[in-house]
């Protein structure tokens, strides 16, 4: 890891160390271990006040920081492999699967422009990237789906089916 990346990540560790300093929708954001600044974990909980369909859920994000960070974007995905609630750091169990147009249901991969090398800006932090994912939850893009089934429900504007599918997985985290 370059010294610039190391300095930047140490700064971000310091900025996110106090959960009270994080936005309400980010429960936690920290390295997975003190000895490895390249692998982070975040727990997000979309705000009910925003009217989010995902507001009842806690979701874990796995973040892999490349050696060239912040010149290259982090790789972020939803943790669909971890047993629900294990190490959650949240009051409620972690949702393991997320029905969303722009999230691969099986792998947790996220389709979000700012996470692509040609759209990433070194001015962004891990916290801003995680916030962008929170915003994405309520702003699905069915034209660039990783989950075709959810995209079809959005194209058909079947609000009843959309709410039913999301409620099923968000209220049934295991």
Domain positions in the chain: 3-170
- At residue 85, the pLDDT reads 53
- At residue 88, the pLDDT reads 47
pLDDT band at 165 (very low <50, low <70, confident <90, very high): very high
Mean pLDDT of 155-160: 95
- HSE-CB at 128 with a 13 A cutoff on CA atoms is 10
Q: Which residue has the tokens 């994405």?
A: 136
Mean pLDDT of 151-172: 93
**In this model, does residue 150 exceed pLDDT 50?**
yes
Residue 31 DSSP SS3: strand
Residue 38 DSSP SS3: strand
Determine which helix (DSSP H) or strand (DSSP E) holds 16, and give its type and residue range: helix 3-16
Which of the residues 64, 95, 101, 111 is marked catalytic? 111
Comparison of pLDDT for 100 and 87, the residue scoring more:
100
In angstroms, the CA 124 to CA 131 distance is 11
Number of neighbours of residue 145 by Cβ within 10 angstroms = 20
pLDDT band at 62 (very low <50, low <70, confident <90, very high): very high
Mean pLDDT of 46-72: 91
Those residues whose C-beta lies under 8 Å from the C-beta of residue 71, and which sit 6 or more positions away, are 122
What CATH number does the domain located at 3-170 have?
3.10.110.10
In angstroms, the CA 160 to CA 135 distance is 22
Which candidate, 56, 58, 76, places its Cα nearest to that of 66? Answer: 76
pLDDT band at 4 (very low <50, low <70, confident <90, very high): confident
- At residue 3, the pLDDT reads 83
| Two tokens, residue 7 | 């300095």
Whether 111 is a known active-site residue: answer: yes
Radius of gyration of the chain (CA): 16
**In this model, does residue 92 exceed pLDDT 50?**
yes
- At residue 91, the pLDDT reads 58
């Amino acid at each position: 890891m370059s010294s610039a990346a190391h300095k930047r990540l140490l700064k971000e560790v310091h900025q996110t160390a106090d959960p009270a300093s994080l936005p309400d929708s980010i429960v936690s954001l920290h390295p997975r271990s003190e000895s490895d600044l390249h692998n982070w974990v975040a727990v997000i909980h979309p705000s009910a006040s925003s009217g989010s369909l995902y507001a009842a859920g806690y979701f874990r994000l796995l973040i892999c920081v490349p050696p060239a960070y912040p010149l290259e974007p982090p790789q972020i995905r939803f943790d669909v492999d971890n047993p629900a609630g294990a190490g959650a750091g949240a009051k409620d169990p972690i949702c393991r699967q997320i029905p969303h147009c722009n999230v691969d249901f099986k792998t947790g991969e996220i389709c979000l422009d700012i996470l692509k090398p040609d759209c990433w800006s070194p001015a962004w932090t891990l916290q801003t990237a995680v916030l962008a994912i929170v915003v994405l939850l309520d702003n699905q893009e069915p034209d660039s789906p990783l989950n075709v089934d959810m995209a079809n429900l959005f194209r058909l504007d079947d609000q009843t089916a959309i709410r039913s599918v999301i409620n099923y997985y968000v209220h049934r985290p295991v």
